[in-house]
Amino acid sequence: MSHIHPNFWERLPAPFFALAPLDDVTDAAFRRIIAKYGKPDVFFTEFTSADGLVHPKGRRAILPKLWFSEEERPIVAQLFSAHPEKMREAARQVGELGFDGLDINMGCPDRAVNKQGAGAACIQDFKQAQALIVAAQEGIRDSGKKIPVSVKTRLGFDKDILETWLPALLEAGPQAITLHARTRKEMSSVPARWDRIARAVEIAKGSGTRIIGNGDVRDIAHARALALETGVDGVMLGRAIFGNPWLFDEKKMTIPAEERLEVMREHTDMYASLFEGKKSFELMKKHYHAYASGFPNAKELRLALMGCADAASVREVVARFLAENSRRTSADTE
């Protein structure tokens, strides 16, 4: 297994563009499709439990979240935990698995995660957050590797505390910090405040830590504009990737319906190949609404796709739809 440079963050030219870790979305299947059609500068795995990874019975169930291919490098494993000792052991395993970096999630707003003291709940305990970063750094050293540790977080929990929260994180020396420009309380109910990203760049100046902005980014052109406006090192895109594995390819602005559906079929086959018997096929349907939109009769196709139980039925539905559309087009031109 090859590695990118030990601290690849330092070598990325600004602005760089990263794919956000989206649970049950940016899995190994989708990342392989994205790597083929529009590779970002940095990939992240799905949100993964460090506690589960180090549990003897949990590891087997957790490992599929950490599958990756060489085409995805640099690839960063994202972990969450409230326990430094478990983070250290999980970090050791991440190093041994061959990742290019480890990211600690300190921004997830999920109540169950926060109740554990993990995700965005880390913002409420600066010392614990610092201990998690140090533990991850130690775990990487235990693995004999020299990969960087980074953090993804928010402006605050109940309120914006960037002025104290970001310096506390910087003290622990992560190589990069991704800042989602909302608080945990705000979820996604208010527009992302990119002026606060600009402030984060000011606070981090001279620290050696690269700042990545995140929140409401529509496409790469929008990301470039935000980077220019704020001076941020990188921009992370998340929800815009749905149905659009070409997102990071600036040359692919308009995708014909036939091509979208062909890649949707390829994505489905990849998902079935990797996860049959391990993950529910229903999770794949999160993608179909986005793939099957923006062209005539897309609604009827989406309804048919929702009734599919496996990759074979998806292929049949798409083939039938394309054949019917071809007949309609021929009839319209006669």
Q: Is the Cα dihedral 149, 150, 153, 155 positive or negative?
A: positive
Q: What is the pLDDT of residues 116-138, one digit of tens each?
A: 999 999 999 999 999 999 999 99
Interval 287-314: pLDDT, tens: 999 999 999 999 999 999 999 999 999 9
77, 94, 108, 261: which one is catalytic?
108
Q: Which amino acid is at 63?
A: L
What is the structure's pLDDT at 330?
A: 54
As a whole number of angstroms, the distance between CA 139 and CA 88 comes to 4
Mean pLDDT of the chain: 95
Return the CATH number of 8-241, one of 3.40.50.300, 3.20.20.70, 2.60.260.20, 3.40.50.880. Answer: 3.20.20.70
Distance CA 160, CA 154 (A): 9
Give the tokens for residue 97.
């698995």
Prediction pTM value? 0.94
Indicate if the pLDDT at residue 4 is higher than 60: no
Domain boundaries, the chain: 8-241, 257-333
Query: What pLDDT shows up at residue 5?
Result: 54
Contact 172, 134 (CB under 8 A): yes
- Whether 308 is catalytic is no
